[in-house]
Amino acid sequence: MYGRTKLMGSAMGAVVFSVALSACRPVPIATAPPKSDPVVDLSGKVQSLQKQVQERDKRIEELEAQLDALKLIDQDREKQRKPLRAPTSVEPFQ
């Protein structure tokens, strides 16, 4: 009987010891991808954005020129339009 208790105690001690060891295992470290040179990356992005802004500004200028031309056309049409007048003398219809 004494041997059985000793065996049980040893088995329980082994279980407790293995649980304690499994809780102490090291946490895996996440590795980040290697960073490239941020100065080079930023300058390329900045150049790309500057080019986009220049293209946008050029397109805005083109659209403003078209709008001005359309306004002139509209003004010319208004000037050429003959005003509708009622006849000055109306003879009764018989």
- Please tell me whether the overall predicted TM-score, pTM, comes out greater than 0.85 for this model: no
pLDDT tens digit sequence for 54-89: 999 999 999 999 999 999 999 999 988 866 666 666
N residues, the chain: 94
Instruction: Annotate 14-82 with DSSP letters as a single string.
Output: HHHHHHHHHHTSPPPPPPPPPP--HHHHHHHHHHHHHHHHHHHHHHHHHHHHHHHHHHHHHHHHHHHSP
Tell me the pLDDT of the chain averaged across its residues. 77
